[in-house]
Chain A
Amino acid sequence: MTPLDWLSLLALLGIGGVLSRLSPRESRTYWRRFRRDRAALVGAAVLALVGALGLLGPLLAPDPRVVPGQALQPPLFFPVEASVPLRCLGETTVSGGTRLCHGTLAHPLGTTGSGADLLALVVAGARVSLQVALVTTAIVATLGTLVGTTAAYAGGAVDELLMRYVDLQATFPSFFLFVLLSYLFEPSLFLLVCLFGLLGWENTARLVRAEALQRVSEPYVRAAEAAGAGRGWVLRRHVLPNVSNSVVVTVTLLVPAFVLLEASLSFLGLTAPSVPSWGRTVAAGRGDLTTAPWVATVPGVALFCTVLALNFVGDGLRDALDPREVNA
């Protein structure tokens, strides 16, 4: 287990812990609303698959290893001219005067130009994307909630200072900072993912603050304070449960963007070469685009489906958690 694995596990436990705080009635209501959105259901199924692959990946598929002898094997049902792979591992047929090389069950999605199995690469990439999604979710939700509620509840100079910093972070397009950072430091995935989270919570904080400001002036908070409740109690008991929906809404918008950001940086070759990100595999396939288009397309399909699923689930969650939609 690498540090990032531990951090992801911690994030997973944290997210699970927060979810388990929902009362059965609440979870039933949310589930009933969520389930009506068919796209969100399909998205959830895709995410469950990616999650399972990411968690159990190392058990299911071997590490994608470079085996030069088996380079550029085509996927199943996608025969190519026999001259494309150095040595065809599957069966070869002749049709219309050209010899065709067929894919083998040993490499159902084919292999890359360096001979790594694409299925193994897709499984390994699922783990990377899963870790990006989990860790950034945990960091952004925690920091955004913390700063947002603190600013709303403390008010005055603390509020001003925190929100000015949030403004600063919001004006800053982080992609280019990450390009420079990756170039200068060649950071590990662990560091990169932490930085995504640390520099990405501004919108969450803003929304939480706005939501919390409304709650703080509600009569039930005044009543609790009059009854002797401390700040901690009010925050935990009254403010946090009320802002949690806003947190979910902003985080579901952010996470797909983080997954894409990591893939883009990997595509540019800016992340550690040992990390089998989907973006890196797509980049590796660019050189063989005319002869072996599957190398660049297969991991891209996985990435696209994951991000699409994240967006669909996010949209479904937003609708399900919308408090304005009562009993609908």
Chain B
Amino acid sequence: MYRYVAGRLAWTVFAAVAVLSAYFALLVLAPDPDAAVFAFRAAARGADPEAAARTYEQLRGGGALPVRYAEFVSNVARGNFGWSFSRNRPVNAAVLDALPYTLGYAVPAAAFAVVAGYAVGLYGAFNRHTGADRLLSGIAFFGVSVPNFWLGIVCILLFAVRAPEVSVLGVELLPLPSYYRTAVVHEHGFLSAANARQLLLPALVVGTGAVAANARYARGEAAEYVRATFVKAARARGANGYRAAYHALRPALVPLITVLLSDLLATFLAGAYVTEVVFQVPGVAMLSYEALRAGDTPLVVATTLLPVLGVLLGNLAQDIAYRVLDPRVEVNA
């Protein structure tokens, strides 16, 4: 077991170094924006020109390529991403400040996607080719096909811009706020109903694609076990539908976790990126988007590198979970 974990860990480190090398190569090969232009843009945005110049040195500065490469890797390893001149503060601080806003809708959306997705998938697997299964499969097709950014815009139109005013028992249900306002957090706090209201639509949009993808995978995996003898045996002993579904879910969980932590995590993050931009949630993706607009390379590098490293860690967790959940797996490290 330890050998296996050590092997996967070594692979993760190797993959991370490969990713860093690719990013470094892109940065070196990128057409060099003239240093003067860089400083001018920094000054125009009210940033500290000296700090901007230091960042410029860090990114393109002198020194032999191997030295710069070693510096880049060690900086990232120590979690030092440099200075963001568009925000006029360290990149780390900017990212850490933005992170709660992203987690605020992404965590509920992910939890909802797993629970609802697996429930729908299991239901479909146990009731294959019935009307309800067809309907749910159709909705799942819709969910995986709809572009997140467009669904977000349609939701804003339907539930915010053109929604009628609906309130139940004095609680205003519609219209929902169309764009995220940080003032709400300052006024009511992060864990308030008002903040939940404005995070509802982003969570819904990000969740839709993920629920659909989870449901499709879960239906496919669980279908293999619906007619398995152990499920039949459980039913014969008097297990009800839920209990039987649990019997099918347990072996299906192993392959499901595999897709969940690698493939789905990657699409989830990409979907969240555009959704956040649509709803203007001031999270990490919005930070990244504004950095793209401002030409703030250090911030762009950090915000596009961190999700990739996150997915690598997800892969590591997946490999270990695979081993823990399915004792039959004998993978040579």
Binding site for B on A (CB under 8 A): 39, 167-168, 170-173, 175-177, 179-181, 183-185, 256-257, 260-261, 263-264, 267-270, 279, 282-283, 285-286, 289-290, 293, 296-297, 300, 303-304, 307-308, 310-312, 315
Contact = CB atoms under 8 A, between A and B. Distances in A.
Given A177-B22, A308-B145, A185 B157 contact: no
B244 interface: no
B146 interface: yes
B122 interface: no
24 contacts: A171-B315, A172-B15, A172-B19, A172-B311, A176-B307, A176-B308, A180-B23, A183-B292, A184-B30, A257-B267, A263-B149, A267-B274, A267-B277, A279-B147, A285-B153, A289-B161, A293-B157, A297-B153, A300-B147, A303-B147, A307-B147, A308-B142, A310-B145, A311-B145
A312 B312 CA distance: 31
Contacts of B234: none
B6 interface: no
B81 interface: no
Given A175-B273, A176-B307, A181-B26, A267 B149 contact: yes
Contacts of B262: 170-171
Contact of A286 (B153, B288, B307): B153
A185 B154 contact: no
The binding surface of chain B is classed by DSSP as helix
A192 to B, nearest CB: 14
Nearest to A309: B145
Interface in B13-35: 15, 18-19, 22-23, 26-27, 30-31
Chain B, interface residues (CB within 8 Å), range: 35 or more
Given A175-B269, A260-B147, A311-B141, A300 B153 contact: yes
B307 A282 contact: no
B125 interface: no
Nearest to B22: A177
Given A256-B145, A267-B149, A300-B154, A179 B315 contact: no
A296 B289 CA distance: 19
Nearest to A312: B141
A184 B26 contact: yes
Contacts of A168: 15, 18
Given A179-B292, A260-B147, A297 B142 contact: no
Given A264-B270, A300-B153, A293 B161 contact: yes
Nearest to B288: A179
Contacts of A180: 23, 26, 300-301, 304-305
B253 interface: no
Interface in B128-156: 138, 141-142, 144-150, 153-154, 156
A134 B182 CA distance: 43
A304 to B, nearest CB: 5
Contacts of B257: none
Contacts of B149: 263-264, 267, 279, 282-283
Contact of A173 (B141, B147, B293, B307): B307
B150 A300 contact: yes
B266 interface: yes
Contacts of B147: 260, 263-264, 267, 279, 300, 303-304, 307
Contacts of B153: 282, 285-286, 289, 296-297, 300
B8 to A, nearest CB: 11
Contacts of B293: 269
Nearest to A182: B292
Interface string B258-298: 00001001110110011001100000000011001100010
A124 B63 CA distance: 47
Contacts of A176: 269-270, 273, 304-305, 307-308
Interface string B140-181: 011011111110011011000110000000000000001000
Given A175-B269, A179-B304, 19 more contacts: A39-B138, A168-B18, A171-B311, A173-B266, A173-B270, A175-B273, A176-B308, A177-B308, A181-B26, A260-B147, A283-B149, A289-B178, A296-B153, A297-B150, A297-B154, A300-B147, A304-B147, A310-B145, A311-B145
A54 B274 CA distance: 26
Contacts of B266: 173, 175
Contacts of A181: 26
A289 B156 contact: yes
B304 A282 contact: no
A304 B312 contact: no
A19 B252 CA distance: 36
Contacts of B150: 282, 296-297, 300, 303-304
A264 B145 contact: no
B136 to A, nearest CB: 14
A103 B8 CA distance: 61
B141 A308 contact: yes
Contacts of B148: 264
Ranked 4 nearest A-B pairs via Cβ: A300-B150, A173-B266, A175-B270, A184-B30
A160 to B, nearest CB: 12
- Of B150, B157, B288, B293, most A-chain CB atoms within 10 Å: B150
Contacts of A312: 141
B203 to A, nearest CB: 19
A307 B292 contact: no
Contacts of A269: 292-293
Interface in B228-267: 262, 265-267
Contact of B269 (A173, A285, A311): A173
A286 B273 CA distance: 16
Contacts of B301: 180
A307 B145 contact: yes
